Structure 1
Amino acid sequence: MFKRVGVPLYLLMASSALAGPVVTTSAGRIEGTSENGVSRYLGIPFATPPVGDLRWRAPQPVKPWSGLLEARSFGPDCVQMDMENPPGPGFVNPESEDCLYLNVWAPENTSGRKRPVMVWIYGGAFIMGAASYPSYDGTAFARQDVVMVSLNYRVGRFGFFAHPELKGEGEDVGNYGLMDQIKALEWVRDNIAAFGGDPANVTIFGESAGASSVNFLMASPKARGLFHKAIAQSGGTNGFVKPLDKARADGKAWGDKKGATTLAALRALPAAAVLDAPVLVPESVIADGQIVRESTPEAYKAGHVADIPYLVGANDYEESLIRWLPGAEKKLIESLGTKGEGVVKLYMADGTAREIAEKRLWGEYAMTLPARWRAEQTAQNKGKVWLYRFSYVPETLRAKMPGAGHENEIEMVFDIRQSRTQRHVWTAADLTMARTMNRYWANFAKTGDPNGDGLKNWPRYTVKSRALMHFAKDGIAPAIDFEKARLDALEAATVK
């Protein structure tokens, strides 16, 4: 297991000897750094630290400071399990419950017109993840004349927890991680103009649990009006949310096992006891009736989502997730009963071995089909939507990787170069793909349409065209009714 190195958190005041760009926020002045035309401001507090009596409470307004706050390094990651695979060689960042910080990348010259804003929400199954990961560097977006923000939110039992003792505090309960995201978006609304951003042109985007968060925020009345476009990368189904009564019962049972039966005792538990590692992927998100009123499939089908441009898609080797969910494909096929065998045969029709076909079926059920379904529901409700499939594998990895696994598109979307991640050498073709994807995403943030000069036309998904853009090893091209027969059969067998 990969261990992070913990260090105390200090709010450091900037030294005039290391003067950088200075911005005045609603809570005080901050100083960042600039390099090659891009300014970055790291570790900006957007809420009071959720510690002590603020554990399991909605994020509270950040306390103003005097002087000049140094914003040159990431705030701590939220408390979580150690990682099996670090996000880059030498990656080290402390963990703390005091973790509600965000980061901003902006063009160095903030004068003149306001720029579009992109807000990144990380993935990690709602039990891990952090805005400090090297793959989430916003430099390339800033060079596209976009102001990019990344944020931390509470995960695991710190971020998603209910208990009978919590309901008496007169505020929303349960989905603290989603509340953190909303609080950060409120910070963007109130402060981003000082960084050259346009608070009336905000795009939220995320991958995996970050994409699930995007979908929940799309459906949440509490987030309405805080963003104006949305991108969901491999967000899955989000087909179940835990009823509040069950979440409270589960929380009470867990607290009783810890010997913590009162709110004071629960909040006095050490962070390690609350983490309770290893943490299994939980039914994290809670139907609290305020932040989350229904599952996102219910919301999309009923049209209970923000009527804004939406970009959605998944990768071609999402079954890479099965390494953490052994046997998931067998359980899915068994759950389909007599329909299951027929769908498996469709996945074997091109000569694919059964074992591989079963896993591919699971990967498309988990990520590809939900993306297509959300595009279809959005189009049926007259919304503007673009669908993609990502199957590009960097050239030096093609002998090792059967496809583009879960999250493999992120470094391309962010146009992260080898010098930053050092995971593998990028060829000229890899760099071209990354630049192109970064341009599509930035264009979408700018105009609500991914298309732009010099790019292949990405057709909008409609109920008549059912088009997607395929980012493949041999290039980028639109496709109509991609793999319609097998996906239709899978949908008929699985969608209730």
Structure 2
Amino acid sequence: MTTDRRTFIAAGAGMLGLAAARPVLAAEDRLFPVVETAEGKVRGVASGGVAVFKGLRYGADSSGANRFLPPQPVTPWAGIQDAFDYGNIAPQIPGNRRHVYADLILNDLQPGGMGEDCLVLNLWTPEANANRKRPVIVRFHGGGFYGGSSNNPGGDGEMLARFGDCVVVTVNHRLSSLGYLYLGDEGPFADSGAAGMADLVASLRWVARNVEAFGGDPARVMIIGQSGGGAKVSHLMAMPSAKGLFSSAGVMSGSALTSMTRDQADKAAAQLLQRLGLRRDQVKELQAVPFTTLLAAQADVEAEERRRGEAPRSFAPVLGEAIPHHPFTPGAPAESRDIPLVVSTVLDERTYRETRFDMTWDEVLSTLQKRVGDDAQMLLSAYRDETPAATPFIINARIASDTYFRLAANTMLERRVAAGGAPTWSYLWEAPSPAFDGRYGATHGIDVAYSMHDIRFPLAGPSRDNVRLADEIAGAWVALAAAGDPNNPKTPTWPAYDLKDRSTLVIGHPSRAEKDPRGFFREYWGKRAAARAAGG
């Protein structure tokens, strides 16, 4: 039997094609890895040895009939879903660029579009291999409980995943009235005032189910957040539903001691419903209101609070079944007693809110006199002696930082240590930002880029010292995630915090561990706060 010459050539060409296809397919698997999650298969993209999966769903669309309810499960899918692009950010009133600080944190850059289908997370991994069991760092974004997203450039986890050989996860969730509107104590909406926090618990459950397939260790999950993200971590530490879903935690410049009470939340809800012309029992109608209308009404409520001289705090986590007690009042929560914790602040937090760059010393003294009376001159001298080269603008902001951010952090540290349990560490970031020739000092958020081991951002910048600082703080976070202790070869020896030595890692030039740094100011403002609480 003879073989047709053309058939032979065609068969040979087909075999060559198959041979050529195998390396192409192997390259495709490397560049576009596919991971099977509990809900279905997803395809990411790899570059520089790190694979990224964006817009992964951990909850269903929260609009319409799901609005104000606890997060609903994702419907499983067949086939492969591409995870190349960011998902929605939560509906919010966007940031603007009129304030220079907003530019420094790239606050206007929130890709992904705005919408209620925002229960999504992003994941970076050096290798999507279920056998690797790398430590996992889950980061919750700042912006209070009203704004921001994990899609911001500052939430990019590639550099940290590569530096720490770890899996990095960032999370979007419901904010403002869509996440924290209190609708009463009974029925399906009884915990609507904690829906946004329930979202974060759902994201951690997704991690527990799925992170192993991406090369992560579900038994070594650290949760961390700065500013509003720190407040979210504070609340998760007190939520029974979150217990067992994380093994260590970091609260950066966001120590939240209390939640909103139902009375406070009821007042905010009544104001919003009045603006919308709806009664409390008209929940179906409220679910049908466009989110743009809801946000506009919310903005009106908050503007009215400002006109009354009140600080807007209309929509934040509300006590209820999900959050049965305040996070750190009157003491540290028992739910997270066994969780190693790092609590931090930066030296000049409040410069991010201040705009009076040309303040005079007389103006600082006058402001201080209104607050402390006859102690003003003594106290101002102490602040000036601490940093002789500091401007009035910096000192005025540092005073505000000590009476808000640092006071809350010190209280959290004290209550945590007094309760016993797992160790707690403290750090103080004092290295100033080079932005605008150091005008902002060590401002709020300065440690975020370094913690992500990504110094390209305006508050940091490429320099040898900044690489060192990033190595130190990112190294500490990776060590905490991996072993429950932030000590690592990149940082000086860092003792745990106690009420005797109050050892703190001061991150600066150079970084060093100190006993009770700035103890005079801690004691002074702590005593005044205690006197106010006692009615004195």
TM-score under structure 2 length normalisation: 0.81
Match of 1:300 in 2: 331
C-alpha distance in 1 between matches for 2:475 and 2:333: 32
Given the alignment, which residue of 124, 143, 154 partners 1:105? 124
Match of 2:23 in 1: none
1:320 is aligned to 2:351: yes
Q: What SS class does the counterpart of residue 392 from structure 1 fall into? A: coil
The Cα shift of 1:55 comes to 0.8
1:480 is aligned to 2:498: no
C-alpha distance in 2 between matches for 1:434 and 1:467: 21
C-alpha distance in 1 between matches for 2:368 and 2:240: 33
Name the aligned partner's letter for residue 255 of structure 1.
Answer: L
C-alpha distance in 1 between matches for 2:430 and 2:391: 20
Change (3 A) 1:330 1:31: farther
Query: Unpaired segments of 5 or more residues in structure 2?
Result: 1-27, 97-101, 304-311, 358-362
C-alpha distance in 2 between matches for 1:263 and 1:330: 50
The Cα shift of 1:450 comes to 1.1
Alignment of 1:2-401 (within 5 A): 20-84=32-96, 85=102, 87-88=105-106, 92-108=111-127, 110-143=129-162, 144-164=164-184, 167-169=186-188, 172-236=191-255, 238-261=256-279, 262-276=282-296, 278=299, 281-298=312-329, 300-301=331-332, 303=334, 305-323=336-354, 334=370, 346-347=382-383, 357-382=395-420, 383-394=422-433, 396-397=434-435, 399-401=437-439
Change (3 A) 1:302 1:112: closer
C-alpha distance in 1 between matches for 2:218 and 2:131: 15
C-alpha distance in 2 between matches for 1:90 and 1:298: 36
Change (3 A) 1:439 1:169: same
Given the alignment, which residue of 439, 449, 467 partners 2:503? 467
Name the aligned partner's letter for residue 378 of structure 1.
Answer: R
Change (3 A) 1:246 1:457: closer
Q: Which shifted more, 274-283 or 218-227?
A: 274-283
Q: Which shifted more, 103-112 or 433-442?
A: 103-112
The Cα shift of 1:96 comes to 0.7
The Cα shift of 1:453 comes to 2.9
The Cα shift of 1:454 comes to 4.7
Q: In 1, are the aligned partners of 2:196 and 2:317 still within 8 Å (CA)? A: no
Change (3 A) 1:431 1:18: closer
State the Cα deviation string for residues 359-391 of structure 1 (Å, max 9, x = none).
322111211232233222222223301100112
Name the aligned partner's letter for residue 389 of structure 1.
Answer: L
C-alpha distance in 2 between matches for 1:224 and 1:299: 20
Q: In 1, are the aligned partners of 2:138 and 2:222 still within 8 Å (CA)? A: yes
Name the aligned partner's letter for residue 452 of structure 1.
Answer: N
C-alpha distance in 1 between matches for 2:435 and 2:189: 53
C-alpha distance in 2 between matches for 1:283 and 1:331: 28
Q: Which shifted more, 482-491 or 330-339?
A: 330-339
User: What is the total number of aligned residue pairs between the two structures?
Assistant: 475
Q: Which shifted more, 95-104 or 80-89?
A: 80-89
Name the aligned partner's letter for residue 385 of structure 1.
Answer: T
More helix by share: 2
Q: What SS class does the counterpart of residue 404 from structure 2 fall into? A: helix
The Cα shift of 1:123 comes to 0.9
The Cα shift of 1:445 comes to 0.7
State the Cα deviation string for residues 95-126 of structure 1 (Å, max 9, x = none).
11111100111112525341111110011021
Change (3 A) 1:454 1:149: closer
Superposed CA RMSD in Å reads 3.0
C-alpha distance in 1 between matches for 2:426 and 2:151: 28
Q: In 2, are the aligned partners of 1:244 and 1:287 still within 8 Å (CA)? A: yes
Q: What SS class does the counterpart of residue 323 from structure 1 fall into? A: coil
TM-score under structure 1 length normalisation: 0.87
Name the aligned partner's letter for residue 40 of structure 2.
Answer: G
The Cα shift of 1:323 comes to 3.0
Name the aligned partner's letter for residue 277 of structure 2.
Answer: G
Change (3 A) 1:328 1:106: farther
Q: In 2, are the aligned partners of 1:329 and 1:359 still within 8 Å (CA)? A: no
Q: In 1, are the aligned partners of 2:31 and 2:47 still within 8 Å (CA)? A: no
Change (3 A) 1:378 1:260: same
The Cα shift of 1:249 comes to 3.9
Change (3 A) 1:218 1:338: farther
Q: In 2, are the aligned partners of 1:219 and 1:306 still within 8 Å (CA)? A: no
Match of 1:6 in 2: none
The Cα shift of 1:295 comes to 2.5
C-alpha distance in 1 between matches for 2:29 and 2:254: 45
Change (3 A) 1:20 1:81: same
Name the aligned partner's letter for residue 65 of structure 1.
Answer: W
The Cα shift of 1:255 comes to 1.1
Q: What SS class does the counterpart of residue 386 from structure 1 fall into? A: strand
State the Cα deviation string for residues 289-324 of structure 1 (Å, max 9, x = none).
222223223153475643210011000111124338
Q: What SS class does the counterpart of residue 105 from structure 1 fall into? A: strand
When Rg is computed on C-alpha atoms for both structures, the one with the higher figure is: 2
Match of 1:407 in 2: 445
Name the aligned partner's letter for residue 319 of structure 2.
Answer: D
Match of 2:13 in 1: none
Name the aligned partner's letter for residue 79 of structure 2.
Answer: G
Q: What SS class does the counterpart of residue 47 from structure 1 fall into? A: coil
1:450 is aligned to 2:486: yes
The Cα shift of 1:358 comes to 4.1
The Cα shift of 1:136 comes to 1.3
Sequence identity of aligned pairs in percent?
Answer: 26
State the Cα deviation string for residues 8-44 of structure 1 (Å, max 9, x = none).
xxxxxxxx89961111111110000111211111000
More strand by share: 1
Q: In 1, are the aligned partners of 2:503 and 2:514 still within 8 Å (CA)? A: yes
Change (3 A) 1:112 1:156: same
